[in-house]
Structure 1
Amino acid sequence: MVKDNIIALHQKNIADGAASLFINKGFTATSINDISKLAGYSRRTIYKYFESKEEILYYLIIEGLEYLIQSIEEGFCSCKSFISRYEHYCECMLYFYENYPISAQSVDQFQSKAYLNITPSVERIFTLGENINDILALWIKEGKEEGVLEESLETLPTVYILSSNIHALLKLITTKGSYILTYLQMTKEEFLSHGYTMNLKSILK
């Protein structure tokens, strides 16, 4: 147990150092040497904890997705109405984008297994994504039972479209927020609230 905790600590330190480099330089431009210098670990030690630079990226993606699934589950347990759960989901997604940017920015790469080298980490990423979709699918079904959604609404397509729209909204505010907010003379909160409301209205009765 102690050994596992030590391993987890070193992996976390290395990954945190890599994350800042991936954000500032980009994944491709970042080398193991760069990570070694910033994180304070030798190349040999880094390879002791991660087989490759890709595995460090996967670690960061998994870290973000694990936060996301836990926070969604916790909130959905305490929020009882469809609307309050939607508001909580939006809050979780915003926190995900702001605090786990590497995970949020990289998750789109995992839409198909066809072009990926399938490692245990990659499998874990797909599993977490499927788990999140399962939670959202149950939420949509409960919305139908609650009477706020049309019974004819197809569950899984709705999950994919709804979550994709929120991803796109947050990606937009992340990449072009300064220009958009200045042009529209809106705050970030006002813009996101407007987007969330439009998204929600598209599925309500």
Structure 2
Amino acid sequence: MKENIIALHQKNIAKGAEHLFLDKGFNLTSISDISETSGYSRRTIYKYFESKEEILYYLIIEGLDHLVQSIGDAIDSEQNFLKRYEAICACMLFYYENYAISAQSVNRFQSNAPLNMTTSVERIFALGVKINEYLSIWIEQGKEEGILKESLDVMPTVYILSTNLNALFELVTTKGTYLFASLHMTKEQFLSYGYTMNLNSLLKEPTK
């Protein structure tokens, strides 16, 4: 019961902070700002989070937890290989659009910047490893089924595929309005084209 109450207060504080991080940026957001937005006193915020960084980590973990679960479900589904790819893309797009702070911040943990290895940071790294494991399983499945090129080196392919998809989502977010109008394409058509381009680099026989 106590754990549920703590979890509820943490979620409320983090949701208030999330809007500020998106609007003002993490560095320009203060604990006082979060207090005003969330309705919790500074003292109460520090009762549930040791620092502003821990609030950010909470939001990153929340998004990655959802992504791990959804990608795992996609990989384990009974759909054919290409349908699983479509499901993976949909999972990653949902994460990018609905857990924006998590998606925008997670690259920080893939850089060489030194981090204080708190329990939360370790959890973030562990979730990233799990996502890569799921994607590597999908690629191995494709190679075993004779759909993907046998020459593919699995882990580099995982990193490149993830990077390409994230870049595609960023392009749609920042320049989508202009692109869709100038190319006479809908968002769905543009994304589908991008997904196909990425996939064709992996397939033995490219699809149209």
Question: What is the letter of the counterpart of residue 171 of structure 2?
Answer: L
Counterpart in 2 of 1:65? 64
Question: What is the letter of the counterpart of residue 12 of structure 2?
Answer: N
Total equivalences in the alignment: 204
Counterpart in 1 of 2:7? 8
Secondary structure in 2 matching 1:115: coil
| Structure 2, unpaired ranges of 5+ | none
Question: What is the letter of the counterpart of residue 55 of structure 1?
Answer: E
- Distance in structure 2 (CA, Å) of the matches to 1:7 and 1:85: 37
Identity of aligned residues (%): 67
Counterpart in 2 of 1:201? 200
Mapping of 1:8-87 within 5 angstroms? 8-87=7-86
1:115-160: CA deviations, max 9, x gaps? 2121111111111000000111111111001110122211111111
- Distance in structure 1 (CA, Å) of the matches to 2:38 and 2:175: 30
Mapping of 1:1-205 within 5 angstroms? 2-112=1-111, 114-205=113-204
Question: What is the letter of the counterpart of residue 41 of structure 1?
Answer: Y
Return the offset for 1:180. Answer: 2.0
1:10-53: CA deviations, max 9, x gaps? 00000000001111111111111111011000000000000111
TM-score, scaled to structure 2: 0.95
Return the offset for 1:114. Answer: 4.5
TM-score, scaled to structure 1: 0.96
| Structure 1, unpaired ranges of 5+ | none
1:165-190: CA deviations, max 9, x gaps? 00110111112222222222221111
Question: What is the letter of the counterpart of residue 61 of structure 2?
Answer: I
Return the offset for 1:78. Answer: 1.9
Question: What is the letter of the counterpart of residue 178 of structure 1?
Answer: T
- Distance in structure 2 (CA, Å) of the matches to 1:113 and 1:65: 20
The Cα RMSD (Å) is: 1.1
Q: Which runs of 4 or more aligned residues in structure 1 lie more than 4 Å from their structure 2 counterparts after TM superposition?
A: none
Return the offset for 1:112. Answer: 3.6
Question: What is the letter of the counterpart of residue 188 of structure 2?
Answer: E
